Amino acid sequence: MLSANLSAIFYLVSGVLFILALRGLSSPETSRQGNLFGILGMIIAITVTFLSTGNFSNGFIFVLIFILVGGSIGAFIAYRIPMTAMPELVAGFHSLVGLAAVFVAISAFLNPEAFNLGTVGNIKLGSLIEMSIGAAVGAITFSGSVIAFLKLQGIMSGSPITFKGQHPLNAIILISIIVLIYLLCASQSSNLFWILLAVSFLIGFLLIIPIGGADMPVVISMLNSYSGWAAAGIGFTLENTALIITGALVGSSGAILSYIMCKGMNRSFFNVILGGFGATDETSGKSVKEQRPVKSGNADDAAFLMKNASSVIIVPGYGMAVAQAQHALREMVDTLKKNDIKVSYAIHPVAGRMPGHMNVLLAEANVPYDEVFELEEINNDFANADVAFVIGANDVTNPVAKTDPQSPIYGMPVLDVEKCKSVLFVKRSLSPGYAGIDNDLFYKENTLMLFADAKKMTEDITKNL
Amino acid sequence: MEIDPLIFRLSIFILSIFVGYYVVWSVTPSLHTPLMSVTNAISSVIIVGAIIAGLSGNNDTIFNTSSIFGFLAIALAAINIFGGFLVTQRMLAMYKKKKKDK
């Protein structure tokens, strides 16, 4: 049996390894090594836990069985999941962390002796506070992630669900959670504990339903953050350094990602969280919409334009993921490169349904990462490029964000696509994007609309090159 | 006067938030998806709590209400640990540099 001091030191080591795992992600070269640090940290934490309980009875066998069962399911999912489904997968994984935190809290509440937290009905006050916070945040993470998962998977409509009195109701529930935690600590009543859990599940559900599909990058990041705080809450209860460090890391990581995503849309965090964006704007946008002439072309025209270009910038968006067009796109780019045309990719921070979504899809299609650029890096190059090829993106290219203070997306950083000599816009119809507003780019003199499925159009262009 | 151990844990927590803040800002935006999947995997270190919970029964009654929740939590966390690290590994393996010979 490991002494408490020694195991605390090992937990610290595993916490440090987790920090190194995140540090590795600062560049793709070091990232794989970073992931190994993470795995090592996890192995140390689990081994130390076994050694410190010193309990290798029959229960130990069952622990191994459950790890194996869960592990095989996890490994199976990890190998089978298509890269386009990554947002759903991450949302699903968040829900599991949340639920695991809830279960650990329940277990600790029912049997506090096992955790040295006191006895049933007489749990140490500090532990009870930490435990109930961990359980409440875990429950919110769980139900919120389940809703996010259903929305991303398309089982539930991605459009915001709003009703009258939604915000006051949420506010009342949030306040009641705090009151419940207070009463629970005062009375140690198990009934209050179960009510607290039920109410937390409910609020997680209510918080996410009003948020629309394209705001999912913020939601996923936020739930990522919550899962960290839940882990930290449990870490305080168990007095476990590895868990506290990890919880803080994950919590701040998710918070930073949410911030980056909000900044990419020029909206405040609360504006996103309160939801309903796009639902109201859509109707007003449609009523003022006038018929304006657009130029539309076919694959032949597009191929002609690109063949005569010397540099092409590709702007991918969520539509590319939906159409699974990343491989077809890379084949087109290969052909362009054979003709000595310089090709680069421009990624908007909120393109896709989660942070970095487009980068992963392009990497999957074997696009070298040094051809892929972020908004700030590439935005000045549009003026010197011959062709911009917009595939599945819309709002992030809308020049209205720079010109019309009335527009709901005014102030949002956008890619300066209109500065290109010509713009090719692959889209199925002229319908407005998520923000519900018309894209001025469609009607510009130098824009050629290619109305088709992204994958099919890209393949046709390749044939015509 | 002795300092409550809670204060030490709180110090670790606050300092880790700062470490997290600086480390995450240095993550390149193209790796934000692997960042989410790896944070997912490491937050499942909550499995240490689940293991303690699962082992809380004695030899006669391995399964009591408390330990069953522990075992369920072990399975959930294990899905996340294996799934999270492996899918991250799979993603990171795809990030390649331009081939020089072309």
Residues B24-75 pLDDT 10s: 999 998 999 999 999 999 999 999 999 988 888 766 677 788 889 999 999 9
A43: helix, coil or strand?
A: helix
The reply to whether residue A75 touches residue B82, judged by beta carbons under 8 angstroms, is yes
What pLDDT was estimated at residue A447? 87
What does the pLDDT look like over A293-347, one tens digit per residue?
788 888 888 888 888 889 999 999 888 988 889 999 999 999 999 888 999 999 9
Interface residue of A33, A55, A67, A152 to substitute, partner B, most B CBs within 10 Å: A67
Q: Is the ipTM of this complex over 0.85?
A: yes
What does the pLDDT look like over A123-167, one tens digit per residue?
888 889 999 999 999 999 999 999 999 988 888 877 788 788 888
Which one, of A300, A296, A295, A297, lies nearest residue A462 by Cα?
A300
What does the pLDDT look like over A220-276, one tens digit per residue?
999 999 999 999 999 999 889 999 999 999 999 999 999 998 888 888 887 777 766
The reply to whether residue B81 touches residue A42, judged by beta carbons under 8 angstroms, is yes
A114 reaches B (C-beta below 8 A): yes
Please state, in angstroms and rounded to a whole number, the distance separating the CA atoms of residues B53 and B63. 11
What pLDDT was estimated at residue B25? 93
Residues 259-278 of A with CB under 8 A from B: 260
Distance from CA of B98 to the nearest CA of A (A): 5
DSSP state of B4: P
The gap from C-alpha B72 to its chain's centroid, in whole angstroms, comes to 17
What pLDDT was estimated at residue B58? 65
Q: What is the pTM of this model?
A: 0.89
Mean of pLDDT over chain A: 87
Beta carbons within 10 angstroms of residue B37's beta carbon:
28
Kindly give, in sequence order, each residue whose CB lies less than 8 Å from that of residue A260, ignoring residues fewer than 6 positions away: A221, A349, A355, B29, B32
Interface residue of B8, B11, B31, B39 to substitute, partner A, most A CBs within 10 Å: B39
Which one, of B74, B82, B51, lies nearest residue A11 by Cα?
B51
What does the pLDDT look like over B3-32, one tens digit per residue?
888 899 999 999 999 999 999 999 998 999
Which of A215, A381, A395, A416 is the catalytic position?
A395
Give A156 or A432, the one with higher predicted confidence: A156
Which one, of A242, A235, A244, A230, lies nearest residue A201 by Cα?
A230
Give A454 or A100, the one with higher predicted confidence: A100
The reply to whether residue B36 touches residue A355, judged by beta carbons under 8 angstroms, is yes
Q: Which residue of A has its CA nearest to B14?
A: A248
Is A404 considered catalytic here? Answer: no
What pLDDT was estimated at residue A290? 57
Q: Which amino acid is at B8?
A: F
The reply to whether residue A66 touches residue B74, judged by beta carbons under 8 angstroms, is yes
Measured between beta carbons, the chain A residues lying within 8 angstroms of B77 are: 70, 96-97, 100
What are the CA-CA distances from residue A362 to residues A43, A345, B32 (Å)?
Answer: 32, 9, 14
Residues across chain A: 465
